[in-house]
Amino acid sequence: MSSLNPYQDPEPGKVVSPFAQSENAVPRKNGGNTKVVLWIGLAVVLIAAGAVAGIFLTGYLNDPYRTLEPFPVSKFLDTPRSLMGSKFKAELRVEADLAYKEGVGRLMLFSTKDDSRPIAVMVPTPVAKDIYFTKGQTYMAELEVKEGGLIYANSCKKN
């Protein structure tokens, strides 16, 4: 009975591959070409990585707010006086336009990237003159907490 079944283990309880006793049908190629390809690939990768790194470096070096701390929304909401006089950077998302007065500026509501709670920010006229704020747009800005807990955007640029 066991001789009739080729897949039957010669020994009971043991499974043997059907190609165990066959030879390789495709012959192996030469290994020298493979290495070149590998080197070229590596070079390409390195170049790409260098480009990316360059781009990032350039961007980093071109960021004016790179020295500023991100605006701590929670801390501001807890103790606004402790932040008075300090400057921060923040990526702001336009929530609402509250008021505008020529020569004074535009009072806006923004939310930050890290905190969705809105904060009131006064964008002075010189800063706001070239910007058309639209809800949902994001801006990078240098923020300063001034008297009365009012946040001023000293500068602002579109993201």
Partner 1 sequence: MRILVRKTEILCWSLVICSWSLGGLVCAQDSQPSAPTAPAEPNPDPVKAANTAKETEKGTGSSSSSAMDYLFNRKPQEGSAAKEVMEAQSRGKAKLIAQEALGGGRIEDPAMRNRFEKYLGMAEVTPDQLKSYESDSNKVVQLLRGGKTTEAWKELYKLAEYQNIDAGVSLELANRIESIWNADRTSSQLDKKNEQLRREIDSANRNADMMSNEIRQDEIEFQKKMRSGGGSKQQPANNGGSPNGGVPSTTQETSGSTASSNVNSVLGKLELTEEYLNSLEKKARIKLNELKSEKLFDKAKDDFALYITTLYDSGRQRHVLIAADFWRKIFDQGDYPVSMAQQVNASLEMSRDVQNNIDVFNHRLEEKEISAATDRLQEAFMLNELHPSVLGLPRAKKKEVEGFTRRLSRMQNMLEARDFSSLETLLEEMKKMAPDFDTTKPLAIINAVKLESQLRLGKAKLAAQSGDLKMAMEEFQTAAETWPGNPDLKDKALTFFNSQDMQTQSLTEFDRLVTENNYRGIFDKQLMFAPAMKDDTKRQEQLKAALEKVKGAEIAIEKANLLRANGDVFGAWEAVELAVKDLPMDIKLNTLRGDLSGKGAEFVSAINKAKEAEAQKMLGYSLTWYAIAQRQYPASQIANQGIERISQEIVSKSAL
- The contact set with partner 1 (CB under 8 A) reads 76-77, 80, 95-96, 98-101, 103-105, 107, 109, 117-120, 122, 145-146, 148-151
Tally the residues of the chain.
159
Q: Which is nearer to partner 1, 58 or 82 (CB)?
A: 82
* CB 41, min distance to partner 1, A: 52
Q: Which two tokens stand for residue 56?
A: 């990032």
* CB-neighbour burial class of residue 87 (10 A; exposed 0-12, middle 13-18, buried 19+): middle
Phi, psi (degrees; rounded to nearest 5) at 40: -65, -45
* CB 86, min distance to partner 1, A: 14
Q: Which is nearer to partner 1, 11 or 102 (CB)?
A: 102
Cβ-contact 138, 91 below 8 angstroms: yes
Q: Which is nearer to partner 1, 16 or 99 (CB)?
A: 99
Please compute, for residue 125, the number of CA atoms within 13 A of its CA located in the half-sphere on the CB side.
5
The β-bridge relationship of strands 138-146 and 150-158 is: antiparallel
Q: Which is nearer to partner 1, 4 or 129 (CB)?
A: 129
Q: Which is nearer to partner 1, 41 or 126 (CB)?
A: 126
* CB 51, min distance to partner 1, A: 43
* CB 158, min distance to partner 1, A: 22
- Distance, CA of 94 to CA of 112 (rounded, Å): 9
* CB 125, min distance to partner 1, A: 10
Cβ-contact 105, 124 below 8 angstroms: yes
